[in-house]
Amino acid sequence: MCQELDQTPGIPRTLSNQVLRSGTSVGANVEEAHGSQSKPDFISKMSIACKEARETHYWLRLLDVTDTLPSEKLKLIAEEANQLVAILTAIVKNSRANS
């Protein structure tokens, strides 16, 4: 999706870069959390991953409302981003409750 958007200058390219940055940051922070040195460090990294997932979901919604991509293309990706937010939120809440 980002490669397709990146081929069009202006708003599509800008939004593509934002989605790519925040989307890849989710995975990087989850990876960091798995190598954390303490429970608070784990919670902090997972919280950052959750924030990045929320940001990614925002950019995807913005792509939808600006008609930059067809809604059908974005629907599954946005649903997956929303599920990631829910999963990461649950991980953070459960980790805080068990610390």
Task: Please compute the mean of the pLDDT values over residues 64-69 and round it to a whole number.
Answer: 88
Average pLDDT over residues 9-28: 95
CB 32 within 8 A of CB 45: yes
d(CA 77, CA 30): 19
Give all domains of the chain, ordered by start, each with its CATH number: 2-97 (1.20.1440.60)
Contact 15/74 with Cβ under 8 angstroms?
no
Spatial distance between the Cα atoms of 48 and 91, rounded to a whole number of angstroms: 12
Cα–Cα distance measured from residue 28 to residue 41, given in angstroms and rounded to the nearest whole number: 14
- pTM higher than 0.85: yes
Q: Tell me how far apart the alpha carbons of residues 44 and 7 are, in angstroms, rounded to a whole number.
A: 36
- pLDDT, tens only, 21-56: 999 999 999 999 999 999 999 999 999 999 999 999
Q: What average pLDDT does range 92-96 have in this prediction? A: 97
Question: Residue 85 pLDDT > 80, yes or no?
Answer: yes
- 81 confidence band (pLDDT: 50, 70, 90): very high
In total, the chain counts a number of residues equal to: 99
3-state helix, strand, coil in the chain (%, to 5): 85, 0, 15
How far is residue 5's CA from residue 2's CA, in Å, rounded to a whole number?
5
How many other C-beta atoms can be found within 10 angstroms of the C-beta atom of residue 98?
A: 7
